[in-house]
Chains A and B, each alone.
Chain A
């Protein structure tokens, strides 16, 4: 059982690689050349490796956001909107922090990100808790709202002073997160992401609220019977989930982009759903899966330069890896199934899987 947790994903990756090789052969490319370029681009040099971490960073924040919510069977599809909400608030605040010392400006940026994301997630949570609005729908809709607000902001009130491009004014130097080992873009937010992963793990598995959240996610009826405060937990969890994603947005602005762009997020919030599911909603595993997905993103560009293969192929690779991983372990989907089918009614004791876990 324990060995399977490690061995299965590796087997899945190897199988995926074999299938990708077939696709590449069909396209007339050299599988080893392409795969080599992908590896080189992702891990081949010190700089490539640090860029992989840069790509992985927002996926860790969003992956944690998704995992926390999914553990409670709260299907937050809105990490992208929450990240954008956090980034927008931080990006709007950043230019105004000109005379702030670094030690105050950075926490202010992060707080803005938390506030923006928590608001975005909290609204969906409140709607679910008090008005019984399906959070899948509300979070997806709020994604559009956040994206359009960002777009309107960088075309309007937050547009840079020269008004030449749809981007905001740069944030104050004091609000920029220091980058180490130039030209790498390593920064302390990466350590923050790892610390948050540990924090989320402790929250889920060592605190009372985390326990109640997991109980809620596995049996809503029993949770109601045993006095778990479902409404409060729903609102707070989605606010917390949004705060994690929003923090990721603020960090992105503070460390990497230093200003707002219309296309700030390439869809991290959606990719994070895959990151979280492949990690089986385990916060610690999310760090690893995020780096894996970040490596694919990063390696894709090198692959295109070296072998002339479209980076779109990386999305094909990602899709196949996820499907094969899930095929290797159906339990990742058992949570999702409850959304569509209600509480499971199959007596688990009669199934061989449940009995062999004993």
Chain B
């Protein structure tokens, strides 16, 4: 039995956990649900030994876990998969997995054996592994999460803790992965799964613990509760109603034209003759399994990667150059989108248009004005932060994402390109971001959403494309059923 007794943890002025009790029994899949900032990650970090509680203690099968020692947690049989993968960027994936449990206590490093065992496990999970010798820095987010899951399983853990693991898995992978969790349960092991997706928690978990503002508000058998009750306990008020789908297309003049983009990476054609047009007021979406060219498409449009053919064209380049007209929210906000050690106002200044706006002649920064602007942006977009001088790393995931979106919208661009904009956000934060996007489009902005979350795109997008192996296929509204889209995403049909 994995248990927590009256655990409290404080970060500065913020009480992340306030006397939380928790208990997951052997042979049980236990879901831990709550909004961003409810304390879910803090609790599992305490179990995994990454954080030391200020008060209370954690036990496994009655034995106290040594606080603050990841090594001790691992030896006790607790393996965790984190939301932001903890991998060694500059090492290959085989080397990363060699640091898992495949080799046991062996002194010699047999990377071939590691790779073979990883492949066997991956086949069981229907996971695709990257090509041999690929460095993690060249892996997509999905590939990283898969590697983390395989590494955690390589320890043959007694307790498997998963922090939002399913957000980036493809539909086919998800089924096999959930099947594996059920097998672990049948072995009498403990699985703790942290998630925002209530439907998923209800489908896979036996028991569900709800956290709100650092307190445990309920523990329920999954069979005796439902989505509405959970949502209400999580948020503490009625959940926002899901918005109506909008298949409504503005017929305005085009603002963004992507023409025959083709890009090659490591000798592989990652973008293949990609063309699309976006009009003012449009919200358009590109859906696909991660690793099919989405990252490269965003990089090419951002000007970070050079295409071998084709171009991205804005109808109106404006007076302030193209980067003021087109704003980008990159997929990996912690690696590409924000600089966690820098302050919030400095993070806003990363946007080229804002950097220009708050520069004076002679290259001086208009610091006071920039700080003031940051304070306004924080309140306008309801970002919960100590102020413009707080480091971005001190924000919760949802607030970091809101900051990234706020920064993109603050320059009033004509086009917004957003990659996985709601990944890891809870219900309220997601609907908040969606509201921001709709308002922006209603005011004449054009939005291109690139996402693996089909539900999100079906709700928001008038135009929808599927991306598979670097090629786009447009899906008209009448063809948008799950079966058809699944086939397109898997690349089985075009």
Which positions in A face B, CB cutoff 8 Å?
206-209, 211-212, 214-215, 218-219, 221-227, 341-350, 352, 354-358
Q: How far is the CB of A270 from chain B (nearest CB, A)?
A: 27
Choose among B82, B304, B364 the residue that contacts A225 (Cβ–Cβ < 8 A). Answer: B304
Partner of B89, one of A209, A212, A343: A343
Query: Could you list some 14 contacts between A and B, CB below 8 A?
Result: A212-B355, A215-B346, A218-B341, A219-B335, A219-B340, A223-B350, A342-B88, A347-B83, A347-B334, A348-B341, A350-B42, A350-B50, A357-B391, A358-B13
A356 touches B12 (CB 8 A): yes
Which one of A218, A343, A352 lies within 8 Å of B11 (CB-CB)? Answer: A352
Q: A222-B337, A350-B41 are in contact. Are A358 and B364 (CB under 8 A)?
A: no
Q: Tell me whether B323 is interfacial, beta carbon within 8 Å.
A: yes
Cα(A218)–Cα(B397), bound, Å: 19
Decide yes or no: A355 and B137 within 8 Å by CB, A209-B363, A345-B87, A349-B394 being known contacts: no
In the docked arrangement, what's the CA distance between A348 and B86, Å? 12
Tell me the bound Cα distance from A289 to B358 in angstroms: 34
A-B contact count (CB 8 A): 123
The answer to whether B285 has its CB under 8 Å from any CB of chain A is no
- Which chain A residues border B363 with CB–CB below 8 Å? 207-209
Contacts A207-B364, A222-B350, A348-B340; A355 near B86 (Cβ below 8 A): no
CB pair B86–A345 under 8 Å, yes or no, is: yes
Among all A-B residue pairs, the 9 with the closest Cβ atoms: A348-B393, A355-B11, A358-B394, A342-B89, A354-B393, A219-B339, A226-B350, A356-B12, A348-B340
B340–A354 contact, CB under 8 A? Answer: yes
Chain A residues positioned under 8 Å from B367 (CB to CB): 206
| Chain A residues whose CB sits within 8 angstroms of the CB of B349 once the complex forms | 211
* The one of A208, A223, A347, A352 that contacts B84, using a Cβ cutoff of 8 Å: A347
Are A227 and B303 neighbours in the complex by a CB distance under 8 Å?
yes
Are A354 and B394 touching (Cβ within 8 A)?
A: yes
A-B contact sample (13 more), CB < 8 A, given A215-B350, A218-B341: A218-B342, A221-B336, A225-B304, A341-B89, A345-B86, A346-B86, A349-B340, A355-B394, A356-B11, A357-B12, A357-B394, A358-B12, A358-B14
Distance in Å: Cβ of B23 to nearest Cβ of chain A: 23
B81 to chain A, nearest CB (A): 13
Q: Using Cβ atoms and an 8 Å threshold, which residues of chain A touch B394?
A: 348-349, 354-355, 357-358
Interface residues of B in 1-57 (CB under 8 A from A): 11-14, 16, 41-42, 45, 50-51
Binding site for A on B (CB under 8 A): 11-14, 16, 41-42, 45, 50-51, 82-90, 137, 302-304, 323, 328, 330, 334-342, 346, 349-352, 355, 359, 363-365, 367, 385-386, 390-391, 393-397, 400
Query: How far in angstroms is the closest Cβ of chain B from A14?
Result: 29
Q: Which residues of A contact B88 (CB under 8 A)?
A: 341-342
| B397 partner residues in chain A, CB cutoff 8 A | 347, 349
In the complex the two chains form, is B87's CB within 8 Å of A211's CB? no
Q: Which of A208, A222, A352, A354 contacts B338 (CB 8 A)?
A: A222
Return A53 CB to nearest CB of chain B, in Å: 31
Minimum CB distance partner of B395 in chain A: A349
Instruction: List residues of chain A with CB within 8 A of the CB of B42.
Output: 350
Q: Determine whether the beta carbon of B335 is less than 8 Å from that of A221.
A: yes
Partner of A350, one of B45, B323, B330: B45
Q: List residues of chain B with CB within 8 A of the CB of A206.
A: 364-365, 367
Q: Kindly state the separation between the CA atoms of A349 and B365 in the bound complex, as whole angstroms.
A: 28
User: Are A211 and B12 in touch, CB under 8 angstroms?
Assistant: no
In whole angstroms, how far apart are the Cα atoms of A350 and B52 in the complex?
A: 12
| Closest B residue by C-beta to A209 | B363
Q: Which residue of A lies closest to B91 (CB)?
A: A342
A226 to B330, CA, bound (A): 10
Bound-state CA distance A224–B386 (Å) is 28
Residues of B close to A214: CB separation below 8 A: 342, 346
Central interface residue in A212, A219, A221, by most chain B CB within 10 Å: A219
Choose one: A227, A347, A350; the contact of B51 (CB below 8 Å): A350
**Complex-state Cα separation, A219 to B341, whole angstroms:** 9
Q: Is the CB of B11 within 8 A of A341?
A: no
Most buried by B among A206, A342, A346, A348: A348
Contacts of B304 in A (CB 8 A): 224-225
Closest B residue to A349 by CB, please name it. B393
**Nearest-neighbor residue (CB-CB) of B387 within chain A:** A358
Q: How far apart sit A16 and B52, CA to CA, in the bound complex (Å)?
A: 31
| A352 and B51 contact, Cβ closer than 8 Å, known pairs A345-B84, A358-B11 | yes
